[in-house]
Structure 1
């Protein structure tokens, strides 16, 4: 493999240029394509596919075909490959509206598990913002409403419990993206006040392994992982490097799948949400939801390998 390959070039070489190839990479003789692996939401027993989609920056676009057609391809391929969870926020510019409009145009809106957030201060401001999110995402009911970065969480959780009781939201959660928030997230997880917790975690950024992941598992709270690629820094770390031969033991075909399968090998993780607006990257990411996942010995080996380079 030549040095300094881009992620796109690596995808072409490893054969991940179409959704069909992702499905065929495991068992060409199968009677039907494999299904994406799922994990159970503890508070309900509902199963979710383990790879979803983040929308920060990627879906904050205008109305031109050049801006929106690639995103329609991302959503269409995601649904075809079995992905369901799409995560947004009012903080993400036009993302909620773009997701709502494109999934509606594709007639797929109800096929996705739509998650968004409340990101403001004050009870009425929160209610107004959440109603606006429902309108933008073209839903009368949202699957998961989360308190973004714990902002005014005491106020919003009271509202969200009422909304869950009347059926406006199916699940409620809290989010953050920094290690410094993990202790507070853990306290809230242990209080069992939420169905979901979302936080940062990657093969190099493993603070959540100290206690937060176990706390979520022990207290029946579903886990969504953000920042799995450290905003692209992980790809820069492995630029020009080949996958270790033993990665094939876990059906890993690319660096993205290496990073994602490390996360997904932790049984406490319900779903990981890498963000992308590129259909080839989306297909690559979705591939991490198929085939074998590493056990604890495999995950240790993967982490040690990354640390050594």
Structure 2
């Protein structure tokens, strides 16, 4: 049986054909069942690792990277992925991704999560007609009669924009609604919205070296029955710089963590309040590697502490 490490090297050398070839799939190594978590408001289960579309994905979508993104989606779905997180604010990502998944015929295999914000991130006021136009553009991009999840991006004028999402949920045009932020200055506001509104989801930043969410927001999400999408699980690019030149510790193999990406992701999704982490990538081999964190065992509290201490020792 080909090893996963050799498989990833082969993927890099030979492209999408190798990535998707069932005979070479690391899933054939039977690493265990796909790990899923329930959405508290419905019980619907989602894989704990998804795909984001900011950062490198967005750059590829806005340039000449559409072919690579098509391979990313193929690899992602082939290895059990369903949750795709995007936003109108991510440049061409939403429109390009919508075109790709329709061309590939995988649209209905995905849990499509997008966002709404025409108010900006600085406390501006949303224009209702502009918001409706952005919503219409999101529906046009994916071409589905109902979008799985739509969230207010970075808490943009929640008072104006959240009622629009409530109406869409009542009309069954969206299945779930929520709010997001990755700005520390908005965390207090996020807590208030979580207490005041009936949210299905929140989306927040959370990583092995960014654990402030554990103090108040993740416990509140668990208490309120709100699903959590974890953004920036690699600390954007911060964690990659930290581990550059270092090998994944041998003891990580106890839980099947064979790469730093899996190390970081398994830590994030092992928190019981996290429903799904959505790392962005424009490389098919990274999509395959990331999905590896959704199989096998998750760290317990002792292992989580050991992992965190190890990362702190590299700082």
TM-score relative to the length of structure 1: 0.89
Q: Does 1:249 align with 2:254?
A: yes
Matched with 2:27 is 23
Deviations 1:228-280 (A, max 9, x none): 11122211111111111211111101000000001011010000000001001
Which position in structure 2 is the counterpart of 1:181? 186
Q: Which residue of 2 aligns with 1:97?
A: 95
Measured in 2, the distance between the counterparts of 1:192 and 1:262 equals 29
Contact 1:11-1:280 within 8 A present in 2 as well: no
1:130 corresponds to which residue? 135
1:69 pairs, out of 67, 70, 74, with: 67
User: Is the aligned partner of 1:38 residue 2:36?
Assistant: yes
Structure 1 window deviating more from structure 2 (180-189 vs 48-57): it is 180-189
What is the correspondence of 1:222-301 to structure 2 with a 5 Å cutoff? 222-301=227-306
Moved more, 180-189 or 75-84: 180-189
Of the three residues 78, 101, 104, the one matched with 1:106 is 104
- Verify the 8 A CA contact 2:61 2:93 in the aligned structure 1: no
For residues 38-57 of structure 1, what are the alpha-carbon distances to aligned partners after superposition, in whole Å with 9 as ceiling and x for unaligned? 00000011001111111014
Pick closer, same or farther for the CA change 1:176–1:249 going to 2, 3 Å: same
Please report the RMSD computed on the Cα atoms of aligned residues, expressed in angstroms: 2.0
State TM-score, norm by structure 2.
0.88
| Structure 2 counterpart SS, 1:173 | strand
How much has 1:192 moved relative to structure 2?
A: 4.3
The reply on whether 1:305 has 2:310 as its aligned counterpart is yes
Deviation at 1:36, TM superposition (A): 1.9
Whether the 8 Å CA contact 2:53–2:90 is kept in 1: the answer is yes
Alpha-carbon separation, structure 2, partners of 1:159 and 1:11 = 47
Deviation (angstroms), 1:223: 0.2
Contact residue 15 and residue 21 of structure 1 kept, 8 A: no
CA distance in 2, matches of 1:41, 1:62: 29
Q: Tell me if structure 2 keeps the 8 A contact 1:26–1:251.
A: no
Indicate which of 153, 157, 160 corresponds to 1:155: 160
Between the aligned partners of 2:113 and 2:59, the Cα distance in structure 1 is 16
> Residues of 2 paired with 1:239 and 1:268: CA distance?
29
Aligned residue for 1:196? 201
Structure 1: runs of 5 or more not aligned: 1-9, 28-33
Structure 2 residue matching 1:202: 3-state secondary structure: coil
Question: How many angstroms does 1:107 deviate by?
Answer: 0.5
Match of 1:115 in 2: 113
Is 1:166 aligned to residue 171 of structure 2?
Answer: yes
Q: 1:82 aligns with which of 80, 83, 99?
A: 80
Moved over 3 A (4+): 10-21, 24-27, 59-64
Secondary structure of 2:207's partner?
Answer: coil
